[in-house]
Amino acid sequence: CFLSLPAQISICRDLPNIEVITFSVNGISDLEPLNQCQNLSELYLRKNNITSLNELFYLKNLPRLRVLWLSENPCCGSDPHRYRMTVLRNLPSLQKLDNQAVTEEELSQALVDGEEITAPPARRSMENCCSESTESSAAESTTETESELLNFSLEETNKIREELGMKPAPRDKFSSFSPRETDCNRKKRNNVLNAILLLTKELDVEGLELVQQTVGRRLQAVRKKELQEE
């Protein structure tokens, strides 16, 4: 694997003006690189490896954060009420948490039932993504099917494409990951796609035109190769 887990999300340190971030199903455990994204309004982190709600410490000073999807992470625990109350106590500006609208009643109750987070989590040593993939591959195979990954990636990718004024990608043109690929290669490929979409958000007209030309040439080369193989 060519990208370590910290490197995958650390790209956010160089994108202070980014508004929407989708890093779902990526093995992410550290949210510290997000604390400089002052324009961030939507953050999608479903099915990662965030073990502690103390990671919310890094999101508390993001004034524009309105949407957070954090479900299916270890930090959610076995008590959904305590989890939701703790998130809302520390991020009271949220309008939607885990695809569910936040109510005024919940925000008031969070002051009573939620836990105040005042310090970042204690860091544990990070293993490289290939090692982690090997250890967790058996569990992932029972909880995340190829179809689920494709459906969710397509949904979030199209959301970003809409933000960029692009047409949604049809399902039959959206590449899923081959079951023969290793977990490490699958994560790398997914993160490369996410990084490209995030960086595209930062480009001006000239930059977008250059990307469009480069992608067009690349598509022609790939299609030509496919025709030759047939």
Answer yes or no: is pLDDT of 160 > 80.
no
Which of 48-57, 159-168, 206-215 ranks highest by mean pLDDT? 48-57
Question: Could you report the per-residue pLDDT of 201-229, keeping only the tens digit for each?
Answer: 667 787 777 778 887 887 788 777 777 77
Who has greater pLDDT, 37 or 140?
37
Cα–Cα separations (whole angstroms), residue 197 to 5, 24, 97, 113, 128: 18, 14, 23, 38, 24
Fold (topology level) of 5-113: 3.80.10
93: Cβ contacts below 8 Å, ≥ 6 apart: 63, 65, 66
Confidence at 142, pLDDT banded by 50, 70, 90? very low
Who has greater pLDDT, 39 or 2?
39
Confidence at 90, pLDDT banded by 50, 70, 90? very high
Instruction: Output the average pLDDT for the chain.
Output: 75
Nearest-angstrom CA–CA distance, 17 and 25: 23
Lowest mean pLDDT among 45-54, 124-133, 192-201: 124-133
Nearest-angstrom CA–CA distance, 190 and 192: 6
DSSP helix/strand/coil, 61: coil
Cα–Cα separations (whole angstroms), residue 8 to 5, 14, 160: 5, 12, 18
Confidence at 185, pLDDT banded by 50, 70, 90? low
User: Would you kindly state where each structural domain of the chain is located, as residue ranges?
Assistant: 5-113, 197-229
